[in-house]
Amino acid sequence: MDSHTTVSYRRNAGFLERIGSSLMGILAGLALLLISSGLLFWNEGRAVQTAKSLDEGFNIVVSLKTVDVASRDNNGKLVHLSGPLSTDKVLYDEAYGVSVQSVKLKRIVEMYQWVEHERKTEHNEGGKTRVETTYSYSQEWQSDLIRSNSFSDGFNHKNPTTMQAESKNLEAYKVNVGQFELSKGLINKITKFHPLPLAYLNPPQDPRVRLFDGAIYHSNDPLHPQIGDLKVRFEYAGISGKSPLGPPTEVSIVARQFGSELLPYKTLAGDELELLYYGRLSTKEIFNKEKVQNTMVTWAIRFGGWLLMFIGFSLITSLITTIVDWIPIVRELVMMGVNLMNMAFSISLSLTVIAMGWIIYRPLLGISILALALTPLFLSKFKSRESYRTRHD
């Protein structure tokens, strides 16, 4: 394997230095607790606001029977419509002569380059630590230019400093569904890309440019590429009009009608509704999907907030493990107990913050969650009183 190893030494921190680091960790831990609490509190408000906006939108949305006429009666209202995408613009890549009638066309360029991999192992040798760093190298297709001058062995693993071609995104500036023109926000939601077939790629003129495996290769031998060779692929999204690629892409949209334009709709709850899904979906199907997505985002942020709290408590209690880390057996037992304590604290505090957020928006549910969060505290006090009575009976 093409690799080499370097060895360096690092002085181990003394006891007082580790204590100092632990004290700094306490400050960092407190900061993380504040950040995570704010994040969790904000998330509950966001979740409730989004839910209210979706309920509001579902109750007032007007389903259009046709997309061929933009009726003035629905001007300013939240409307729902389904239909095929259409655009008059043909997207054209001049460098490769590729053209397609779609909403988006993406050119993806990759270069065959050296990639450095680093692996470190550390060995405690009393007052110092021996650090062994192993650097290995592989040849890979990469879309970003890798600077080999930062490699440990850049002399034997040199990458080109520039790429002959670059990745590029093309987008139709005007996209319609029937008589309705989509906003920039709705166009941004058209993200389902498909590889462009070889039939759309023009025969290469340069003998070093070859069509192979669905891509254009700047290489003498695509099966055995050399450093600096290029691979170019094209992808499209949103078929428009009659095309050999297939029928026009159908979408379902919920947005505000303003004349013949589709724009974001501002709800009373404070959110903007501007929804686009592929296929013909009813209003109920669209709003159900949005509710599921809101639930998933809410739980993802809750987990992230709890994890930040756990890390924060771990930093705050790191002083305890630092004091006993010179006694191996005691250290392991203390670390296990501290981790369990941090787990309990982070769960209780997370539930408490979440409950405080819900008390503002939904009091009964918030109070229930708060009671659940305080349960470990009540149980610990109850057990301490029982043990006290047992000792004095």
What's the pTM value of the predicted model, to 2 decimals?
0.81
| pLDDT recorded at residue 362 | 61
| pLDDT recorded at residue 366 | 53
Instruction: Provide the 8-state DSSP code for 389.
Output: H
| pLDDT recorded at residue 386 | 53
The answer to whether the beta carbons of residues 101 and 247 sit under 8 Å apart is no
3-state helix, strand, coil in the chain (%, to 5): 40, 30, 30
- Cα–Cα distances in Å, from 2 out to 8, 73, 136, 156, 365? 21, 71, 6, 10, 61
Question: How many CB atoms are closer than 10 A to CB 195?
Answer: 12
Pairing state between β 78-86 and 62-63: parallel
The Cα–Cα gap between 380 and 144 comes to 56
| pLDDT recorded at residue 388 | 46
- CA 285 from chain center: how many Å? 25
The answer to whether the beta carbons of residues 186 and 80 sit under 8 Å apart is no
Q: Which among 384, 356, 363, 393 has a CA at the least distance from the CA of 42?
A: 356
| pLDDT recorded at residue 218 | 92
Give domain limits for the chain. 14-54+293-392, 71-111+144-281
| pLDDT recorded at residue 377 | 52
Question: Along the 393 residues of the chain, how does pLDDT read in single tens digits?
Answer: 578 888 777 776 665 666 767 778 788 889 999 999 999 999 988 998 999 999 999 999 999 988 888 888 899 999 999 999 999 888 999 888 899 999 999 999 999 999 999 998 887 777 787 888 899 999 999 999 999 999 989 889 999 999 988 999 999 989 999 999 999 999 999 999 999 988 887 766 777 888 888 899 999 999 999 999 999 999 999 999 878 888 999 999 999 999 999 999 999 989 999 999 999 999 999 999 999 999 999 999 999 999 999 998 888 888 777 676 666 666 677 777 778 888 888 888 888 888 777 766 666 555 665 566 555 555 555 555 555 455 555
The Cα–Cα gap between 376 and 372 comes to 8
353-374 core/surface letters (b: 16 or more CB in 10 A; e: else): bbbbbbbeeeeeebeebbeebe
| pLDDT recorded at residue 267 | 95
